[in-house]
């Protein structure tokens, strides 16, 4: 048996040397050349630069030069700029709590100078010439350059060679440096950026609109597969682009989130975005997005991480919900609405049907109504299978559980023929027509292939639809809409379910009792270290009540607990929709196929089925011509 290590002799408590203090700080701020690039570009943006040039040698390990055309630093302040915790950006705690600049700690230049050779060259508008300060020697000398600042960093980690051994190849470090500049470029389209490596221009982005900058940086493919996000929730404003589920990648390498122009990697924000994709993206695929959150500076703390990559919000749940709902709203609008440019609004049911005009608002929520038993349920104004039968069964104020059971019991109900459609609905877009109308994005059905696919002709060419996947989404969205109109009913338990709880779970259950009750859960302390569940959501009668309660309490501690209930309910509805959707190898008439196409055009998230698979594909005439070598 090896002997236990002996304690080292006691040393006296003493102050650390300033140089060692700076090197410790550098270990928190400077991880690799990209860290230096990020800090220096932050300073350039705070100086009001409109053009920033980054020059690198050996991936930034041998040399980094960041030049800007900002306001510059007066000669008398240059020595102070290299001291620890010296800055012009904050002067009080109040300013720190509402900081709006990119950099503010006043330690970046000092930390970099402790592990590399640093020189600062700067000129203000009122100066006759520039001044150059050598950080190592402290020498200040006149120099030549225009208004602005240049910071030169050479031989990174020369004074800490052990840190240098952990760096990767020059190509890898260069890629990280370019990514650091790319993140800034996406946040500031009003600023031009250029990256040079060993005398060769490797990236350049000119000043442009936000949309053009995103296209320039992330590529046309990103823009073609993205939905615009625009939402304002109280003091929060969320904008940017969210990629469609089909654009998801195996890695999370195209996920950009900015808070007040600052790139962050925050678990709360990432969870909110991922929650918005739960209904359309399954498995380990990662969504792509570029989102910006604008929030009052005093409602967010950016001073929780040395590199300012993480943030903390005053009201985390408010931010989480706002992000989730903004992305959900963008994804809800089906791509069918842009598949073919409509010549005018789609015809809607007339006033004689008792329906309100369905003008397809931005959220994709339908506003036509089906009356049943004295209540109104939101539903598309199209007669369909099996939703039409399901809607009729709601007569007589059937309970939610009974309606679900009836729907599941009749998955094979026949779609009504044209002769069976009421006269008021015969003129709706679901009716078959000899020619496709320009306001039908999915066009006119022309055939059924293999008992699985619907072939349709639209203004762009050929549309291929997976009829089971498409109808599964239609039924699922209809069930979800009916569910949201019902209050979450609580089902009391004859025997309360008890479980051993952590102190955090007990504290959450006590502080959020009202929230839990609105979700149909009655969770309260039974004794020291024990919680009892006395009721659960009636729609989740088969769920493991203890696991459900634990999940809700865990979400409540960080996010929004209603998401857990909603997810569990949606899993139930997705299973029912899958069994209720039209099956493969079932022969449909052209009228039935057209009804399904019109329904897809009105249904939220109609581009994917409940399992995340695409429901339709477009083949343009140009693509078809290419297949047959026409015009060559």
Looking at residue 116, what DSSP letter applies?
S
- Averaged pLDDT for residues 108-121: 88
- Among residues 178, 154, 156, the alpha carbon closest in space to that of 166 is found at 156
- Calpha distance 349→356 (Å, rounded): 8
Dihedral Cα 557, 560, 285, 251, nearest 10 deg: -50
- Calpha distance 183→401 (Å, rounded): 50
Position 47 pLDDT exceeds 80? yes
In the block, residue with structure tokens 């094979």? 412
Q: How many C-beta neighbours within 10 Å does residue 460 have? A: 17
Instruction: Give me the sheet containing 530-537, strands edge to edge.
Output: 490-500, 530-537, 522-527
Q: In the structure, what pLDDT confidence band is assigned to residue 31 with cuts at 50, 70 and 90?
A: confident
The overall average pLDDT reported for the chain is 77
Q: What percent of the chain has pLDDT over 90?
A: 34
Least confident interval from 205-219, 367-381, 411-425: 367-381
User: How high is the pLDDT of residue 344?
Assistant: 39
| Sign of the torsion formed by the C-alpha atoms of 391, 396, 401 and 402 | negative
Q: Which two tokens stand for residue 487?
A: 């209050």
- Averaged pLDDT for residues 474-480: 79
Which residue has better confidence, 62 or 479? 62
- Calpha distance 294→272 (Å, rounded): 16
Position 316 pLDDT exceeds 60? yes
Which residue has better confidence, 114 or 307? 114
Which residue has better confidence, 561 or 93? 93
Q: In the structure, what pLDDT confidence band is assigned to residue 603 with cuts at 50, 70 and 90?
A: confident
* 493 backbone dihedrals φ, ψ, rounded to 5°: -95, 135
- Calpha distance 552→320 (Å, rounded): 15
User: How high is the pLDDT of residue 304?
Assistant: 67
- Calpha distance 319→598 (Å, rounded): 36
- For 323-459, where are the E strands, in sequence order? 369-372, 375-378, 444-449, 453-457
* Helix-, strand-, coil-residue percentages of the chain, each rounded to 5: 40, 20, 40
Q: Which two tokens stand for residue 570?
A: 């949606």
- What secondary structure, in 3-state letters, does 407-434 show? HHHCCCCCCCCHHHCCHHHCCCCCCCCC
- Calpha distance 266→194 (Å, rounded): 28
Distance of CA 195 to the CA centre of its chain: 28
pLDDT in tens, 525-545: 998 899 999 998 876 776 788
User: How high is the pLDDT of residue 424?
Assistant: 35
- Calpha distance 144→522 (Å, rounded): 73
User: How high is the pLDDT of residue 385?
Assistant: 39
- Calpha distance 239→322 (Å, rounded): 11
Examine residue 386 and say whether the peptide bond preceding it is cis (omega within 30 degrees of 0). Answer: yes
Q: Which two tokens stand for residue 417?
A: 């023929």
Half-sphere exposure of 385 (CA within 13 A, CB side): 22
- Among residues 253, 251, 254, 250, the alpha carbon closest in space to that of 223 is found at 254
Half-sphere exposure of 316 (CA within 13 A, CB side): 16
Q: In the structure, what pLDDT confidence band is assigned to residue 233 with cuts at 50, 70 and 90?
A: confident
User: How high is the pLDDT of residue 105?
Assistant: 58
Position 413 pLDDT exceeds 70? no
Which residue has better confidence, 370 or 312? 312
Terminal CA-to-CA distance of the chain, rounded, Å? 81
Looking at residue 583, what DSSP letter applies?
P
- Averaged pLDDT for residues 312-332: 89
DSSP string, 499-513: EE--HHHHHHHHHTH
Which range scores top for mean pLDDT: 80-84, 164-168, 490-494? 490-494
- Calpha distance 384→599 (Å, rounded): 8
- Calpha distance 478→471 (Å, rounded): 11
Which long-range contacts link 19-25 to residues 24+ away (Cβ below 8 Å)?
19/114, 21/84, 22/84, 22/110, 22/111, 22/113, 22/114, 23/114, 23/115, 23/159, 23/160, 25/84, 25/107, 25/110, 25/111, 25/114, 25/306
User: How high is the pLDDT of residue 162?
Assistant: 64
pLDDT in tens, 511-523: 888 878 877 889 9
Position 107 pLDDT exceeds 60? yes
């Amino acid at each position: 048996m090896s002997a236990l290590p002996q304690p080292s002799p006691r040393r006296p408590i003493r102050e650390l040397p300033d140089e060692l203090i700076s090197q410790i700080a550098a270990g928190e701020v400077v991880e690799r050349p990209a860290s230096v690039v990020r800090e220096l570009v932050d300073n350039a943006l705070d100086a009001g630069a409109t053009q920033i040039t980054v020059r690198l040698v050996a991936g930034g390990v041998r040399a980094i030069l960041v030049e800007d055309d900002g306001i510059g630093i007066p000669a008398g302040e240059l020595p102070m700029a290299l001291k620890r915790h010296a800055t012009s950006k904050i002067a009080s705690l109040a300013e720190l709590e509402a900081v709006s600049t990119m950099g503010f700690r006043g330690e970046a230049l000092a930390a970099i100078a402790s592990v590399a050779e640093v020189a600062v060259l700067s000129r203000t508008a009122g100066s006759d010439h520039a001044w150059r300060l050598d950080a190592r020697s402290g020498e200040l000398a006149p120099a030549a350059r225009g208004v602005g600042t240049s910071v030169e960093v050479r031989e990174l980690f020369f004074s800490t060679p052990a840190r240098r051994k952990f760096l990767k190849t020059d190509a890898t470090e260069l890629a990280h440096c370019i990514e650091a500049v790319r993140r800034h470029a996406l946040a500031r389209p009003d600023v031009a950026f250029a990256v040079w490596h060993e005398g060769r221009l490797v990236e350049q982005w000119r000043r442009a609109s936000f949309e053009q900058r995103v296209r320039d940086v992330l590529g046309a493919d990103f823009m073609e597969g993205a939905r615009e996000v625009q939402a304002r929730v109280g003091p929060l404003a969320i904008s940017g682009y969210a990629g469609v589920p089909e654009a998801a990648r195996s890695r999370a390498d195209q996920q950009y989130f900015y808070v007040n122009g600052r790139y962050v990697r925050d678990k709360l924000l990432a969870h909110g975005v991922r929650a918005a994709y739960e209904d359309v993206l399954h498995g380990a695929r990662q969504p792509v997005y570029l989102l910006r959150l604008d929030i009052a500076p005093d409602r967010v703390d950016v001073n929780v991480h040395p590199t300012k990559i993480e943030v903390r919000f005053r009201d985390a749940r408010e931010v989480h919900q706002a992000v989730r709902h903004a992305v959900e709203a963008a994804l809800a609008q089906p791509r069918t609405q842009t598949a073919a440019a409509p010549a005018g609004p789609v015809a809607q049911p007339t006033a004689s049907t008792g329906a309100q005009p369905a003008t397809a608002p931005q959220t994709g929520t339908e506003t036509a109504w089906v009356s049943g038993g004295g209540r109104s349920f939101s539903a598309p104004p199209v007669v369909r299978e099996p939703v039409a039968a399901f809607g009729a069964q709601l007569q007589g104020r059937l309970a939610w559980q009974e309606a679900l059971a009836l729907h599941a019991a009749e998955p094979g109900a026949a779609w009504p023929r044209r002769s069976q459609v009421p006269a008021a609905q015969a003129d709706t877009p679901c009716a078959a027509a000899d020619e496709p109308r320009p306001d039908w994005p999915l066009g006119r059905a022309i055939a059924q292939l293999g008992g699985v696919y619907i072939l349709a002709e639209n203004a762009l060419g050929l549309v291929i639809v997976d009829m089971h996947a498409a109808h599964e989404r239609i039924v699922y969205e209809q069930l979800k809409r009916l569910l949201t109109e019902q209050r979450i009913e609580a089902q009391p338990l004859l025997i309360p379910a008890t479980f051993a709880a952590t102190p955090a779970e007990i504290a959450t259950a006590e502080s959020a009792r009202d929230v839990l009750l609105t979700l149909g859960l009655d969770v309260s302390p039974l004794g020291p270290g024990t919680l009892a569940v006395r009721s659960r959501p009636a729609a989740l009668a088969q769920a493991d009540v203890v696991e459900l309660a634990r999940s809700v309490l865990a979400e409540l501690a960080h996010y929004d607990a209603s998401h857990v209930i909603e997810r569990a309910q949606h899993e139930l509805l997705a299973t029912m929709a899958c069994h209720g959707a039209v099956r493969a190898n079932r022969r449909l008439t052209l009228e039935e196929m057209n009804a399904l196409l019109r329904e897809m055009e009105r249904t939220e998230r109609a581009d994917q089925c409940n399992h995340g698979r695409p429901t339709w594909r477009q083949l343009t005439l140009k693509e078809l011509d290419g297949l047959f070598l026409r015009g060559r």
